[in-house]
Chain A
């Protein structure tokens, strides 16, 4: 049975890849069988392993070729056992591969395991199995399809790349999300097998990114990260969807998505870290609860407004801090660290500290990240200081990290507690740790001047410790400390000189010698004596000590040559014949430098200035100082080395790129604003405070109507409005029957504006700032070659003109453009609003003259109401004229279109075919404006406008007449 498809497939392959035909032959097998075979150690049966190795091999082969399922299974289990131990069993390939089409699921799975392991080595034979998978790809059962694709894509045989590509494309369009998930995995495999397929694979990724299934999301983002991490443009349209799906994605997918979104956000949003955006540090909760208030405050007082998409990401990741998966918690923490406003980062602290109770390895990574964070933000972890206390049972690397963090957290207030804790550590049995503690004390001493003396005294006491490492470390640290403030510490230096004989650790001896030399003038009597002692033991010392002895000798020679001349010469002579060339070099150099003779050059004069120059004190700083160049939580951060495939986190852009790229068509995104809120709180397991508030709010008020009724929604709405006028337009079209063909007018030409050009249009939305204002959207474009700064609105005329300005645009890059919204109160007149558009350097007077139709807003009324209103507005308030329409405009649709293009009015449904009615109100005073058009024979029509604003009526009449006459 199994041979027939194999044979057929042979033909296929042969035609597919003719160069391989010759080798594509079963005869390869016997050669492989002759390879000497090492037997596993678990043989129980035989006494003669060598003999059995062949036997057993044969035996496995026989079993695999037998007809009994159980024998085959047994054989496969043993084969997999061999694979697990890393033993070679590749010569069984032909026997195993025959079973690929077996009905027994376990047998099949084991064959798959084998196939994936050895296919790369036995490419030709592996091809035999392909047809089975191709058939399985069409199976009605989704799991069989998925597993076929999984194995097919795991076989690393370059020849099947086209087959894989085809399978992936098909699977990406499969109805089952599980199969689509598998295809996302297969993308990465194919990519690593043949990177040339990149372009085609990106197409598949693009398609899969649009997938709405939570099952697929994680895997496809993984594929994205692997294949085309730089194609950030593919994410735009899926950004909001990913944010909203996030809580329901499986945990591993969450990690990948969060880290990708972190990178994305850094390229798309502006920095929330500006000084202006600092709030009350203490209440991190309020931001969530009173989102709307904050937003309002921000617009009035602060220039920075967080992009609602940015906020969306922060809000949707927050619940994941409670995940049981430590990797998820860490990735949310790093997201907050890199993206959240400074005052909000604190919320991750508690969760990170919680992770410290997890496995040792988890602790290690988390502590590394906390160490980096605690350098920049002490306050974040200070309340949890005690969680970083070292326990005797901690592993050494954990202890060192905790010590590091404690040192970072030390400040004037808590230093006494920390030093007391360090006390215990110094006496720890783990000497390496005790030494590290001494280093830490040294760092505390330099950082906090109040305790420098205390620490120094304590360290001096440690010099009499019996443990060498402790003493040595103390000496080294004292040396550094003395260097930072050498004023009155000759006592300590003397004390160290006394201890010198008992100290054997080379580094410590060298440090003392250096101190003697450096401050030899403070201890004029002792230093020569120490040199004398050193002269005696010079030959037996370590190299580092010898170097410092030479150094000391030279310095003493310069300051006190009377006493030390002979000693110095003796030491220099010893050094001249030392075995180590470094020491010989140094000796020669020093001799030339300090001992005057006829050959020595100009340097001799400066010897004193060279050797006894005041030296800058070493800075004792954290080993984690520069780790923040890496994204937290990454492998690179952990190793402090840029790992292969590390993606840099970009800096915030100065001006946010176009936000509207993330907009999606109505259907997909409309629920996002109004309805998702509701549905989310019902469907999802996680949601945050705000949701609940909202839910309660809307339930109690009982108003369930679609969009912006609920009060706490308003904040979100408001900001959406302001920033993404485009977005709102979409949803508005759903709620109001108004139709807005956008006519764009020029506000400022780039020639007059020195590169700044501005266009405006009326979005025909109700203005949010004040109901009496007309909303205007201005598109500012920088067509110059330099960036423009501080674009804002200056003086206006008439001075009483009520304008709601847009926020100052800090910076507009060349070729960039930005859309801003403003509101203007025209007071129902078509008088132009004049104002100045200013940049940092220039001011340009511009004016917006509204067409009369833009001063209206649509109002909905029934035909009955319309007639009633019309009845009230007769006589003086009625303007009418007979007009001639262009023939193209005679259909009711065309009439509607033309009228709406002129005026922002609403259509009133009409029972008469030949009468068209439109209703609106003036924006400022709210006066009713009624337009009715009665079609007469052919192209003539009677146009009537009823309103108390008679000036407007006549102007509107003129405009409408013109529009309807045009084709």
Chain B
């Protein structure tokens, strides 16, 4: 299966390599670098590449490429999923998954990789099992280790691997028993220029942080489980009970984990929390254009919208922006042509507005392409789909745990199409508009 793994940073240096079978020379990465160069953006590198003797499957995460070398047929998703699992594990252990962190903890990372695969086949990928074998570093432990020469490799042997609940280790003990659940929902939406929803759906995830003694058996039930259209679970959830009673019944892993992912069907009307009034226009004569954006609350269920941020990818021709914001600050990155307007809290009494002029390169034709406007926002204490947890019960242990549920709504891929108006009869856009009408007429 997975033959070798190379970690490559964004400048193209291989800073870690691991082979599970015989050693494969670094030169195999040259094919990847070639593709990397061709793709311009690192995101655009095709995940699956073919070379004369090997196949390369890579993921790009945290400005790093995880490149695996394969020699024979294998489901590509198998490899991709595993590579992401490696990245997740590194993140879990060290708080982030970056070149610096990996270099600092190279031995631990290497030990992890050694345990995760045997002969290229995943062996232990469950975070709990790994943590039993190789303890994640803490400041205290590293101090103690340097003083005493103790190691961060567990001296007990992992038991989780053998049990039928491999995700939970035995003998967990806490003085404060607590279980927290965060219901986080993201709105993915595409709105057209008039504010009509082209497409909207809600993705939800329940992140859990469970610190409970012993082997608790939890049951989480919802007020309105019918909302959930499609779900996927952590392996601990008993699928059967969900099918019959629509409750989540599980023996939780210890610590942080993702309990479930869900999707709220697009049939249900998705509440769009904000509206955007925008106009971006360029003049045919003179190197300038105008931009005017206002944002206001739409369906916020009485909650405040926070962390509001607007990102606009400007046409390449826009040189600079001279704008005034009534609230928040804006930056325009000349290299990437990205305008970011960080607004913060949305005050319904005084709507934030960004207005001003844009300078385009003199002598170039007016930009034709659509800039896209992406919105980022947060609403605390609200699950926009209306999903509510009704209760959490615990069986199997005697103590009373402290329980808590938090809701949060975020904008996921929240995009608004902008149609620019280019003054002084640009025939093109006018004609296209006509064509659009024509299309509609024909097909309706």
Contacts and interface: CB of A to CB of B under 8 A. Distances in A.
A461 B429 CA distance: 10
Interface string B11-37: 000111111011100100000000000
Interface string A896-922: 000000000000000000000000000
A736 B226 CA distance: 48
Nearest to A144: B157
B60 A80 contact: no
Interface in B201-254: 201, 203, 229-240, 243-244
A253 to B, nearest CB: 9
B158 A466 contact: no
A365 B151 contact: no
B427 interface: yes
A133 to B, nearest CB: 15
B354 to A, nearest CB: 20
A330 B240 contact: no
A140 to B, nearest CB: 12
Contact of A113 (B114, B166, B239): B114
A364 B106 contact: no
A429 B369 contact: yes
A252 B121 contact: yes
A673 to B, nearest CB: 20
Interface in B103-129: 106-107, 109-111, 114, 118-119, 121-123, 125
A639 interface: yes
B127 to A, nearest CB: 13
B235 A323 contact: yes
A77 B125 contact: no
Contact of B75 (A330, A416, A428): A330
A150 interface: yes
A687 B239 contact: yes
Contact of B26 (A86, A143, A259, A323): A86
A178 B129 CA distance: 14
A106 B153 contact: yes
B118 A457 contact: no
Given A359-B84, A685-B239, A391 B190 contact: yes
Interface in A423-437: 423-424, 427-429
B166 A638 contact: no
A396 to B, nearest CB: 5
Contacts of B368: 427, 465-467
Interface in A675-711: 681, 684-689, 691-692
A69 B166 CA distance: 33
B71 A644 contact: yes
A178 B161 contact: yes
Given A117-B23, A450-B442, A685 B237 contact: yes
Contact of B439 (A215, A387, A396, A416): A416
Interface stretch (A350-358, A722-730, A764-772): A350-358
Given A86-B26, A259-B75, A429-B316, A81 B46 contact: no
> Interface centre among B48, B231, B266, by most A CB within 10 Å?
B48
Contacts of B125: 251-252
Contact of A389 (B72, B199, B313, B435): B199
- For B74, B76, B237, the residue with the greatest tally of chain A CB atoms inside 10 Å of its CB is B76
A781 interface: no
Contacts of B80: 326-327, 359, 361-362, 365
Would you call the interface of chain A mostly helix, strand, loop, or mixed?
helix
Contact of A635 (B76, B109, B263): B76
Nearest to B311: A393
B283 interface: no
Contact of B122 (A215, A252, A453, A458): A252
Contacts of A69: 149
Contacts of B370: 424, 427-429
A251 B55 CA distance: 23
B232 A327 contact: no
A319 interface: yes
Interface stretch (A184-192, A513-521, A747-755): A184-192
Given A397-B46, A416-B439, A639 B428 contact: no
Contact of A643 (B73, B151, B153, B436): B73
A192 B58 CA distance: 25
Contacts of B313: 392, 429
B134 to A, nearest CB: 9
Contacts of B432: 423, 458, 461
Nearest to A687: B240
A224 to B, nearest CB: 13
Contacts of B348: none
B321 interface: no
Interface in A94-134: 104-107, 109-110, 112-113, 117, 120
Given A188-B119, A219-B121, A451-B439, A120 B427 contact: no
A481 interface: no
Contacts of B203: 357
A450 B444 CA distance: 11
A688 to B, nearest CB: 7
A362 B48 contact: no
A353 B162 CA distance: 34
Contacts of A113: 110-111, 114
Interface string B373-386: 01000000000000
A68 to B, nearest CB: 8
Nearest to A321: B232
Interface string A395-422: 1110000000000000000011001110
Contacts of B229: 350
Given A354-B263, A685-B237, A83 B110 contact: yes
A323 B199 contact: no
Contacts of B413: 391, 393
B365 interface: yes
Given A423-B436, A429-B313, A354 B230 contact: yes
B436 A644 contact: no
Interface string A451-468: 101100110010011110
Contacts of A429: 313, 315-316, 369-371
Contacts of A457: 435, 438
B50 interface: yes
A645 B151 contact: no
- A112, A144, A214, A466 interface centre (most CB from chain B within 10 Å): A466
B322 interface: no
B232 A365 contact: no
A84 B44 contact: no
A331 interface: yes
B48 to A, nearest CB: 5
B152 interface: yes
A120 B417 CA distance: 59
B335 interface: no
Contacts of B81: 325-327, 362
A324 B16 contact: no
A325 B75 CA distance: 13
Given A360-B43, A362-B77, A429-B313, A416 B440 contact: yes
B194 interface: no
B190 to A, nearest CB: 6
A464 B427 contact: yes
The 4 closest A-B pairs by CB, nearest first: A70-B149, A645-B72, A416-B443, A106-B151
8 contacts: A107-B151, A143-B158, A354-B232, A392-B374, A454-B435, A464-B428, A633-B76, A687-B240
Given A250-B166, A351-B232, 7 more contacts: A188-B121, A252-B122, A323-B233, A324-B261, A327-B77, A416-B442, A458-B438
Interface of B: 1, 14-19, 21-23, 26, 39, 41, 43-44, 46-48, 50, 55, 58-61, 70-78, 80-82, 84, 106-107, 109-111, 114, 118-119, 121-123, 125, 149, 151-155, 157-158, 161-162, 164, 166, 188, 190, 198-199, 201, 203, 229-240, 243-244, 258, 261, 263, 266, 313, 315-316, 365, 368-372, 374, 413, 415, 417, 427-428, 431-432, 435-436, 438-440, 442-444
